[in-house]
Chains A and B, each alone.
Chain A
Amino acid sequence: MWQNLASYLIVAAAAVWVAWSVLLPRAWRERVRTRLSGAPRDGDTDCGCGRDNA
């Protein structure tokens, strides 16, 4: 029984990894990362404090 449980956990982890690293397009991955890290989205980055305006 414990062998079945451990095997299913390992398979689930492998499936998540393949879905994330191989199947998900890079742009989507970046979008998810940005959302999770709480960083501002593209449109929100221009605060007018860039180097050229300093």
Chain B
Amino acid sequence: MRQDRARSPDEAITRDVVLGRQAGEPAPDAVVCVADATNLRQVLRLVLELKRVGRPLILAVNMFDIARHRGLEIDLDALANALAIPVVPSVAVRKGGTLELMRKLDGLADVTSAPGSSDWTEPSTAEIRDAHREADRILQLAVRRSGRPAVWTARLDRVLLHPVAGVVILLAVLFLMFQAVFSWATPAMELIKDGFAWLGALVATTLPAGMLRSLIADGVIAGVGSVLVFLPQILILFTFIILLEDFGYMARAAFLMDRVMGGAGLHGRAFIPLLSSFACAIPGVMATRVIENRRDRLATILVAPLMTCSARIPVYTLIISAFVPQRTLAGVIDFQGLVMFGLYAAGILSALGVALVLKRVFWRGEVEPFLLELPNYKLPDPKNVVMGVVQRANIFLRRAGTIILAMMILIWFLSSVPGAPEGATEPAINYSIAGTVGHAIAPVLEPVGFNWQIAIALIPGLAAREVAVAALGTVYAISAGGDEAMRSTLAGTLAAQWSLPTALALLAWYIFAPQCAATLGVVRRETNSWRWPIFLFAYMITLAYLGAFMTFHGAHALGL
């Protein structure tokens, strides 16, 4: 928030909470204004406006260490005297300043706050001009620049923000990232795969043949194991993303992408929501609150689920490892990594394409200017990186241990009951509830090349995309029955049973398919209407069907 005159929904809510006008929220006892020490000018005006609200106020001058490193000398006493409020230095990513801030907050407990809502009114132009002048005066009093400012950021930006070289470097960084995901993860993935194979064998030798053994081996181990095996790839991908973010490169990537996104009619502020959507569309959709214009925000919400979220990674990597040969192009480029890069690019391009149609055809209007603060480059903090990666691992493992596990148990049940009749010649799953449902849906999906096993997997996959992989693992494990060779790897089974056009069609399906109920729920909440999640589902499922249909028949026409 830069001023009390809010522009975006998140700014409006922050302002109303501070003013005590937000329904359902009590008026605050005190306000802590957290300022960037390296850019005090911008926040001082806000502090001066906040003083007019009449609540006890503390200024926390954050990133104090970086300001000092850059040669900025901030006289905290002079700042506190000039503003007539308590001022504390802080370093949010470390513990610095927390105790002092708590102590000052305790000191405010005795100060009486203005109860209820504030009678604050928007400042006039003359008042804003006065506040600017006052902020400049205080800055001159309290901030001095000593020594030479760090020049590394400027030097690096000359290259990394270059209109041509910068874009080439960004593409190269992303390309390298996906190469690493496939090249480095293999040993760890093999280890996990072997671990689950060992567990499966242990269950087979410990438990006598029966329903529970099938549930544990075919439902839990084959299903959940087929998803958990992708943990190393997800962690490598997020290590790269967190490293780049900590280094300060992600904001530069936003700057570089602004021109491309602007061409598609998206606001520059859409970059962060879209970037968040690479992890998961849910925080991405929620992050659109920073976008002021309602139509810009809606357009971003509607294209965010097209970005390749981490739940798609197991689906993509399973099909790539089953159908794309593990070889290198020109001796250096990993072919599987190249296909993964292509899938990510397809997600981004389809998001830009849909945004272009929405903003240039249906919601024509001016693109508003974009203001972005570029942080200084800094060496990534190992603790931050480790914490971020551990957090991603936790999220993935929690999903595997809750929703995926529960869904796999149900899929196993539906795939096992009722059993095959006396004298049956086909695999037992063909006679089960899931088999019957799969066969019933199969005609609808036949034109896009999907078989009845895929049809079964797509239904629980609506709860979460990666559940489809676990469902395929369970369905094929049950189909294999006692055939140990066939049970060994899901990728091997798929390679033997699917045609290449079917595999490519499923990849195309997953680029577009709205297979995530939670995302639709969040879109409903954020837009406060059922119209937009229904529209989102309808356009994405149409694109998925058309994309899979064209890919399947195109691949056939090419003789693949």
Contact = CB atoms under 8 A, between A and B. Distances in A.
Interface of A: 2-4, 6-7, 10-11, 14-15, 17-18, 21-22, 26, 50-52
Nearest to B414: A11
Given A22-B517, A51-B26, A52-B116, A3 B409 contact: no
B339 interface: no
A7 B102 CA distance: 54
B215 A17 contact: no
A21 B406 CA distance: 10
A14 to B, nearest CB: 4
Interface centre among A17, A22, A51 (most CB of B within 10 A): A22
12 contacts: A3-B207, A4-B211, A6-B212, A7-B212, A10-B409, A11-B215, A11-B412, A14-B405, A14-B409, A14-B410, A22-B463, A26-B521
Nearest to B464: A22
A18 B410 contact: yes
A11 B213 CA distance: 14
Given A10-B409, A52-B115, A22 B210 contact: no
A21 B403 contact: yes
The list of the 3 closest CB pairs from A to B, nearest first, reads A3-B210, A3-B212, A14-B409
Contacts of B403: 18, 21-22
Contacts of A52: 26-27, 115-116
A4 B383 CA distance: 48
A18 B406 contact: yes
A7 B406 contact: no
Contacts of B208: 3
Interface string B384-410: 000000000000000000110111011
B115 to A, nearest CB: 5
B215 A10 contact: yes
A11 B410 CA distance: 6
Contacts of B413: 7, 11
A21 B402 contact: yes
A20 to B, nearest CB: 10
Contacts of A14: 405-407, 409-410
Contact of A17 (B211, B212, B406, B521): B406
Interface residues of B, number: 23
Interface of B: 26-27, 115-116, 207-208, 210-213, 215, 402-403, 405-407, 409-410, 412-413, 463, 517, 521
Contacts of A26: 521
Contact of B215 (A7, A21, A51): A7
B309 to A, nearest CB: 18
Nearest to A15: B410
A47 to B, nearest CB: 15
A52 B402 CA distance: 43
Nearest to A17: B406
B518 to A, nearest CB: 9
B150 to A, nearest CB: 47
Contacts of A50: 26
Contact of B407 (A7, A10, A18, A51): A18
B212 A11 contact: no
A15 B452 CA distance: 23
Contacts of A11: 215, 409-410, 412-413
Given A11-B409, A11-B413, 9 more contacts: A3-B207, A3-B208, A3-B211, A6-B212, A11-B215, A11-B412, A17-B402, A22-B403, A22-B463
A51 B28 CA distance: 11
A6 B517 CA distance: 30
Contacts of B517: 22
Contact of A3 (B26, B115, B213, B521): B213
Contacts of B410: 11, 14-15, 18
A50 to B, nearest CB: 8
A15 B409 CA distance: 9
Contacts of A22: 403, 463, 517
A4 B214 CA distance: 10
Nearest to A4: B211
Nearest to B517: A22
A18 B521 CA distance: 16
A14 B517 CA distance: 18
A17 B167 CA distance: 47
A48 B26 CA distance: 14
B431 to A, nearest CB: 18
Contacts of B210: 3-4
Contacts of A21: 402-403, 406
Nearest to A9: B212
A18 B207 CA distance: 27
Nearest to B210: A3
B245 to A, nearest CB: 30
B398 to A, nearest CB: 12
Contacts of B405: 14
B402 to A, nearest CB: 7
Nearest to B409: A14
B106 to A, nearest CB: 18
Contacts of B412: 11
Contacts of A15: 410
